[in-house]
Amino acid sequence: MKRLAFAFFISLLLFSCEKDRQSIIENTDIPLIIKVLIGDEIYMEYSYNDANLLIEEKSKFHYSRHFYNNNNQLVSSDIYWDMRIASSNSRILEEAMNREEWVNPDNTPKSISHILKYYPEKHIIQKSFVRPTGNNNDIVEFQFDNDRVVRSTGYYNNSISGYTDYQYDEYGNVIRQTKYTVLSTGVTESTTTTEYEYDNKHNPYQSFKRLVTPSIHTNPNNITKETYTLNFDVDPSIEKVQITEYEYEYNADGYPIRVNGETEYVYK
C-alpha cells in the first residue's frame, strides 16, 4: 500500500513538473500583432499558442506553421508558397494575383521545411532545409555570443557557401549586416552590406524572436532607415546604394500602429 501511494505521489509530481514546463509563457510585456493591413486590406495574419509563441503566418501567397518543444525552442517550420508568384509567364502570374483563397496546407503543396537543432555547448543553432524534391543539402548555422547571433554560415554539400556577419549597437539592435560569398576556389568576396538606423520606441516583432532571425525579430527598436549597398560591380542602370526610410505612428505604449502612412498593425 505504501509502495502504491509512493508511486502515485511520484507520478503526480512528474505530471506537475511536466505541466509547469509546458506552461512557460513568453512575451507577456509585448502586444501581439494579429494582423497587418495595407490600404485597409488584410495583408498578413498571425496566430499564437498558449505560450504566446507565433505558430501561424498567413497571407494570400504564403503560409507558415511553426512547432516548438517544451522549452519553447523552435524545432521545425513548414512553409507553403504559391510558386506562381515567381513565374515569368504573365498569364500564370496573373492567375496567382487573382487568387481569392489564401494559401494554406489544404490548397497548396508544401514548399520547404526547416528543421532546427540546438548545440548550447557550442553556442550554435543549426537549421536544415528539407524539400519535397529531396534536394536537402543546405544547412545554416547561427553562431551566438551573449545571446546574439554574430554570424550565420551557409553550407551546401558540406562545403561553406557563404556567411553573414552581424554588428550591434549598445541596445542590441543590428546596425550592420555584411554578406560574404565563398567561391569554390576558397576565395571570399563581400557581396552586400546593410546598415540600419532606429527610433527609440518598442519593436513588436520581438515576439517572433524564437524564429532565430537576427534584426527585425530581435531588435528592441524599430528600423527608421535602411541603407543597402552592393559591394560588386553592377550595370550602370542599377543603383549600388539603395536607401529605404520608415516613419511610424505610435500608440500610447510606444508601439507602432502605422508605417509610412499605409501599413497598419492590429494588436491582440
Going 236 to 237 to 239 to 240, the CA torsion angle's sign is negative
- Contacting residues for 41 by C-beta, under 8 A, at least 6 apart: none
* pLDDT(200) > 60: yes
- The radius of gyration of the chain from alpha carbons, rounded to an integer in Å, stands at 22
Residue 220 domain boundaries: 2-267
The 10s digit of each residue's pLDDT in 86-95 is 999 999 999 9
CB 220 within 8 A of CB 75: no
Residue 134 CA to residue 112 CA, distance in Å, equals: 10
The 10s digit of each residue's pLDDT in 215-237 is 999 999 999 999 999 999 989 89
Residue 145 sits at φ, ψ, to 5 deg, of -145, 115
Q: For the whole model, what pTM was predicted?
A: 0.87
Q: Which CATH number characterizes residue 17's domain?
A: 2.40.128.720
Number of domains composing the chain: 1
86: its cell numbers:
515567381
The 10s digit of each residue's pLDDT in 152-198 is 999 998 899 999 999 999 999 999 999 999 998 999 999 999 999 99
Amino acid at 105: P
Q: What integer pLDDT is reported at residue 194 of this predicted model?
A: 98
- pLDDT band with cut points at 50, 70 and 90 for residue 1: very low
